[in-house]
Amino acid sequence: MASITDIIPAGSILPVCTINNPDRAVPLARTLQDCGIHFIEITLRTESAFTAAENVINECPGMHVGIGTVTSVEQLQRAKEAGAQFCVSPGMTERLVNTAGKLDMPYLPGVSTVSEVMAAREMGLGYLKFFPAESAGGIGALRMFRELFPDVRFCPTGGLNENNAADYLRLDNVFCIGGSWLVPPEKIEAADWEGIKKIARRPALPIEPERVKGHFNSC
C-alpha cells in the first residue's frame, strides 16, 4: 500500500478545498497543476464534494485526489469506490484506521492531544494530521510532541495562513502543512483562477527552497 508520503512530498503545502459547485473542480485542479501542485484535498463540507472529486479523478490525469473531513467508515468506502488516492480525517477512531488498512487507502487521521498521539502510535501510525493546529496549541504543541514522540511526523491544519506557514514548515517533525488560504472558497465559487495564482505568487514562505516542494510560488 502506498503511504501518505508517497503522495505528498516532504515540505509541501496541501491545498484544502471546499467546493460548492462541482463544475469548478476541474478548472481548479488544472490551475493547481499549472502551478506545479499535483495533490489536492477536497473536503466533505458540501453536498457536491464527491461529485467534485470524481470530476477531478476522471478529467485530471496526474492529480492525486484526497477526500477530507472523513468522519465515517461509509465515507471512507465511498472515497475508495470513487477512486480517491488518500483520505484525511479531523479526528481518529480505531474503526476508521482499521478500515483504511483493509481498503489499502493511505490515511491521515487527525489528533490534537498527547493521548490521541499515543493511541495513534499504538495502532502503528507514524504520520498524523494535527488539527485544529492553531487552537490546539500550534507550534508550541508541536515542539512538545517532538520531545515526546520523536518518531511521529505531523501535517498541521487549521488556522494556518501565509503569515505563519513558514514557521510551521521549519519544524523538523512537520512533513507537510494543509491550508485553505491558498484556495479561498469565494475565489473558487467565482472561478477566479488568476486570483488564486496571485495568492500563490506572494512570497509567503521565506524559507529554504528544498524544504518546500509543491507550494504555489512556481506559478
CB 145 within 8 A of CB 173: yes
Find the catalytic residue in 41, 54, 134, 187: 41
Pairing between β-strand 127-130 and β-strand 153-156 as defined by DSSP bridges: parallel
**Alpha carbon distance, N-terminus to C-terminus of the chain:** 32
Residue entry with cell 476508521: 96
Element (H, E) at 13: strand 12-17
129 catalytic? Reply is yes
3-state SS, residue 110: strand
197 catalytic? Reply is no
Find the catalytic residue in 80, 129, 134, 187: 129
Phi-psi region of 103 (alpha: psi -120 to 50; beta: other; left: phi over 0): alpha
Element (H, E) at 43: strand 39-43
CA gap 209, 21 in Å, rounded? 34
CA gap 91, 56 in Å, rounded? 25
C-alpha cell belonging to residue 174: 512537520
CB 30 within 8 A of CB 183: no
Any idea which residues carry the catalytic annotation? 41, 129
